[in-house]
Amino acid sequence: MCLLKWTPNFDIREESPITPVWISFPNLCLHFFNHQILFGMASFFGRPLQTDEATASVSRLSIARVLVELDVYKKHPLEIWIGYEVKGYFQKVEFENLSIFCSFCKMNGHSINECFRKHPNLRTSTNSVKQMNKMVNQDVSNPALLLGNTTNPPQ
């Protein structure tokens, strides 16, 4: 369960695509380990909530992490430009445990390509696979079938 801020367009039948996600900035220059700068960088992706303890205390210089309310429905860049027009560099961005959101049924946990509502035929093929797995598991439970023992057939 996720507790979110209420909005006027709230619909109980749809899951919210807004979810808290840790964004990491690996190998970030030391002078960017500042609350305002990190929140400014993170606001490019969503609403920043907090930095982790190691980032706040600058005790881990290899990576800076910010928790952001992120819209998983949107595409997000894997790097951002830091600096001026000519002077600057591309900073790598990593998203930790980014959930998959289906744009068709508005539910978390699967993509539109795996959506049973969009592709009902997937449900039948999934059931067929489950039935095959069940048959294989039943056969594995009987070693006589696995070894091909014909002298004592299963009853």
Q: Are residue 93 and residue 138 in the same domain, yes or no? A: no
Q: Are residue 74 and residue 138 in the same domain, yes or no? A: no
The pTM is what? 0.65
Q: Residue 2 domain-assigned? A: no
Q: Are residue 50 and residue 89 in the same domain, yes or no? A: yes
Q: Are residue 102 and residue 129 in the same domain, yes or no? A: no
135 lies in which domain range?
A: 120-147
Residues counted in the chain: 155
Q: Are residue 98 and residue 129 in the same domain, yes or no? A: no
Instruction: Supply the pLDDT for residue 80.
Output: 95
Q: Are residue 107 and residue 44 in the same domain, yes or no? A: yes
Q: Are residue 43 and residue 100 in the same domain, yes or no? A: yes
Q: Residue 12 domain-assigned? A: no
Q: Residue 13 domain-assigned? A: no
Q: Are residue 66 and residue 127 in the same domain, yes or no? A: no
Closest to 81 (Cα-Cα) out of 93, 73, 66, 71: 93
Q: Are residue 26 and residue 100 in the same domain, yes or no? A: yes
Whole-number Å distance between alpha carbons of 136 and 118: 30
- The terminus-to-terminus CA distance of the chain in angstroms comes to 48
Instruction: Supply the pLDDT for residue 133.
Output: 56
Instruction: Supply the pLDDT for residue 120.
Output: 82
**Each residue's pLDDT tens digit in the chain (155 positions)?**
556 666 777 777 766 778 899 999 999 999 999 999 999 999 999 999 999 999 999 999 999 999 999 888 788 899 999 988 889 999 999 999 877 777 777 777 777 788 887 788 877 655 555 555 555 555 445 444 444 444 455 55
Q: Are residue 107 and residue 124 in the same domain, yes or no? A: no
Q: Are residue 99 and residue 134 in the same domain, yes or no? A: no
Instruction: Supply the pLDDT for residue 50.
Output: 97
Q: Is 84 exposed, middle or buried (0-12, 13-18, 19+ CB in 10 A)?
A: exposed
CB 78 within 8 A of CB 93: yes
**Count of the separate structural domains present in the chain:** 2
Whole-number Å distance between alpha carbons of 95 and 99: 10
CA atoms within 13 A on the CB side of 142: 13
- The pLDDT mean for the chain works out to 79
Q: Residue 1 domain-assigned? A: no
